[in-house]
A and B are shown apart, each in its own frame.
Chain A
Amino acid sequence: MAERKIKVLLSKLGLDVHNRGVITVAKMLRDAGMEVIYLGNALPEEILGIAIQEHVDVIGVSSLGGAHITLGMDLIGDAVKEGIKDKTVFIIGGVFSIEDEGRLKEIGFDGVYTAVATRDEITASIKDLVSAKAVK
Chain B
Amino acid sequence: MEKEKARTKVILDSRVKNENPVPLYNSKALQDIESNYTALKKKYTEGDKKQPWSVTPKTILGSEIPRDMLYTPLNAPESDYSFDIGMPGSEPFTRGIHPNMYRGKKFTMRQINGYGGPEDTNLRIKYMLEHGGTGISVIHDLPTTQMYDSDDPISKGQVGMSGVAIDSADDMEILFKDVPIDKITVSLVTHYPSNTAILFPMYLAAAERRGLKPETLRGSVQNDITLEEVVRSGPEYIPPKDCFRIQCDNIEYIKNNVPYFNFNTLNGYNLHEFGTSGVTEMAVAVSNAIESLDEMIKRGYEVDWIAERLAFFWSISSDFFEEVARIRAVRRLWYRIMKYRFGAKSPRAMWMRCHVQTSGISLVREEPLNNLIRAAIQSLSAVFGGVQSLHVDSYDEAYSVPTEEAALLSLRTQQIIQEETAVTEVVDPLGGSFYVEALTNDIEKRILDEVDEIEKIGGYVASIEKGWIHNKIANYFYREKELIDKGEIKFVGSNVYKSEDKKPSIEVFRYPEGVQERQKAKLAKLRMNRDNEKVTEALSALEDACRKNTNIIPFSLECARHGCSVGEIFKVFKKAFGLWKPPALW
| B274 on the A face (CB < 8 A) | yes
Complex CA–CA separation, A12 to B162 (angstroms): 15
| A66 on the B face (CB < 8 A) | yes
Chain A residue at minimal CB-CB distance from B480? A24
Chain A residue at minimal CB-CB distance from B147? A15
Q: Is the CB of A98 within 8 A of B400?
A: no
Chain A residue at minimal CB-CB distance from B478? A27
Chain B residue at minimal CB-CB distance from A12? B233
Q: Is the CB of B586 within 8 A of A30?
A: yes
Q: Is the CB of A15 within 8 A of B494?
A: no
Q: Is the CB of B157 within 8 A of A74?
A: yes
| A65 on the B face (CB < 8 A) | yes
Complex CA–CA separation, A74 to B397 (angstroms): 25
B99 to chain A, nearest CB (A): 40
| B477 on the A face (CB < 8 A) | yes
- CB neighbours (8 Å) of A116 from chain B are 365-366, 494
- Chain B positions 379 through 400: 1 when the CB is less than 8 Å from some CB of chain A, otherwise 0: 0000000000000000001111
Which of A15, A19, A66 is close to B400, meaning CB atoms less than 8 Å apart?
A66
Chain B residue at minimal CB-CB distance from A64? B162
Complex CA–CA separation, A1 to B246 (angstroms): 57
Which of B234, B477, B484, B511 is close to A66, meaning CB atoms less than 8 Å apart?
B511
B155 to chain A, nearest CB (A): 7
Q: Is the CB of B275 within 8 A of A67?
A: no
- CB neighbours (8 Å) of B503 from chain A are 98
Q: Given that A20-B477, A27-B478, A98-B506 are contacting pairs, would A70 and B234 also be in contact in the complex, using a CB cutoff of 8 Å? A: no
Q: Given that A15-B155, A20-B274, A67-B157 are contacting pairs, would A40 and B586 also be in contact in the complex, using a CB cutoff of 8 Å? A: no
- Chain B positions 496 through 507: 1 when the CB is less than 8 Å from some CB of chain A, otherwise 0: 000000011010
Complex CA–CA separation, A65 to B478 (angstroms): 21
| A108 on the B face (CB < 8 A) | no
Complex CA–CA separation, A71 to B156 (angstroms): 8
Complex CA–CA separation, A12 to B233 (angstroms): 8
Q: Is the CB of A17 within 8 A of B234?
A: yes
| B146 on the A face (CB < 8 A) | yes
Q: Is the CB of B154 within 8 A of A15?
A: yes
Q: Is the CB of A120 within 8 A of B400?
A: no
| A34 on the B face (CB < 8 A) | no
Q: Is the CB of B586 within 8 A of A26?
A: yes
Complex CA–CA separation, A42 to B425 (angstroms): 52
Chain A residue at minimal CB-CB distance from B273? A20
- CB neighbours (8 Å) of A19 from chain B are 232-233, 585
A113 to chain B, nearest CB (A): 11
Chain A residue at minimal CB-CB distance from B491? A116
Complex CA–CA separation, A97 to B504 (angstroms): 10
Instruction: Name which of B153, B154, B477, B478 has the most chain A CB atoms within 10 A of its CB.
Output: B478
- CB neighbours (8 Å) of A41 from chain B are 233-235
| A14 on the B face (CB < 8 A) | yes
| B148 on the A face (CB < 8 A) | yes
Q: Is the CB of B401 within 8 A of A66?
A: yes
- CB neighbours (8 Å) of A24 from chain B are 477-478, 481
Complex CA–CA separation, A28 to B586 (angstroms): 10
Q: Is the CB of B233 within 8 A of A65?
A: no
| B158 on the A face (CB < 8 A) | yes
| B145 on the A face (CB < 8 A) | yes
B51 to chain A, nearest CB (A): 30
| B175 on the A face (CB < 8 A) | no
- CB neighbours (8 Å) of B162 from chain A are 16, 65-66
Instruction: Name which of B235, B484, B503 has the most chain A CB atoms within 10 A of its CB.
Output: B235
Complex CA–CA separation, A116 to B493 (angstroms): 11
Which of B148, B361, B584 is close to A15, meaning CB atoms less than 8 Å apart?
B148
Q: Given that A16-B233, A96-B399 are contacting pairs, would A70 and B158 also be in contact in the complex, using a CB cutoff of 8 Å? A: yes
| B302 on the A face (CB < 8 A) | no
Q: Is the CB of B145 within 8 A of A17?
A: yes
Q: Is the CB of A99 within 8 A of B508?
A: yes
Considering only residues 149-193 of chain B, those with a C-beta below 8 Å from chain A are 153-158, 161-162
- CB neighbours (8 Å) of A114 from chain B are 365, 398
Q: Is the CB of B481 within 8 A of A71?
A: no
B148 to chain A, nearest CB (A): 7
Instruction: Name which of B145, B146, B158, B400 has the most chain A CB atoms within 10 A of its CB.
Output: B158
Complex CA–CA separation, A40 to B234 (angstroms): 7
Complex CA–CA separation, A99 to B508 (angstroms): 9
Complex CA–CA separation, A109 to B490 (angstroms): 30
Chain B residue at minimal CB-CB distance from A114? B365
Q: Given that A23-B585, A67-B157, A119-B485 are contacting pairs, would A95 and B142 also be in contact in the complex, using a CB cutoff of 8 Å? A: no
Q: Is the CB of B586 within 8 A of A15?
A: no
Q: Is the CB of A17 within 8 A of B158?
A: no
Which of A16, A43, A97 is close to B399, meaning CB atoms less than 8 Å apart?
A97
| B537 on the A face (CB < 8 A) | no
- CB neighbours (8 Å) of B511 from chain A are 66
| B143 on the A face (CB < 8 A) | yes
B347 to chain A, nearest CB (A): 37
Q: Is the CB of B508 within 8 A of A70?
A: no
- CB neighbours (8 Å) of A67 from chain B are 142, 157-158, 161
Q: Is the CB of A14 within 8 A of B157?
A: yes
Chain B residue at minimal CB-CB distance from A69? B157
- CB neighbours (8 Å) of B484 from chain A are 118
Complex CA–CA separation, A22 to B235 (angstroms): 15
Considering only residues 361-376 of chain B, those with a C-beta below 8 Å from chain A are 361, 365-366
- Chain A positions 1 through 26: 1 when the CB is less than 8 Å from some CB of chain B, otherwise 0: 00000000000101111111011101
- Chain A positions 73 through 111: 1 when the CB is less than 8 Å from some CB of chain B, otherwise 0: 010000000000000000000011111000000000000
B567 to chain A, nearest CB (A): 12
Complex CA–CA separation, A95 to B361 (angstroms): 11
| B576 on the A face (CB < 8 A) | no
Complex CA–CA separation, A114 to B274 (angstroms): 16
Complex CA–CA separation, A111 to B345 (angstroms): 60
18 A-B pairs in the complex with CB atoms less than 8 angstroms apart? A14-B157, A15-B146, A15-B154, A15-B158, A15-B234, A16-B158, A17-B233, A20-B275, A23-B477, A24-B481, A27-B586, A65-B162, A66-B511, A70-B156, A71-B157, A74-B157, A98-B399, A118-B484
Q: 6 tightest A-B contacts by CB?
A: A70-B157, A19-B233, A66-B161, A97-B508, A15-B142, A67-B158
**Which residues of B pack against A, CB within 8 Å?**
142-143, 145-146, 148, 153-158, 161-162, 232-235, 274-275, 361, 365-366, 397-401, 474, 477-478, 481-482, 484-485, 494, 503-504, 506, 508, 511, 584-586
Known pairs A14-B156, A95-B400, A119-B485 / 12 extra A-B pairs, C-beta < 8 Å: A15-B154, A16-B162, A19-B232, A23-B477, A65-B161, A65-B162, A67-B161, A71-B158, A96-B399, A114-B365, A116-B494, A120-B485
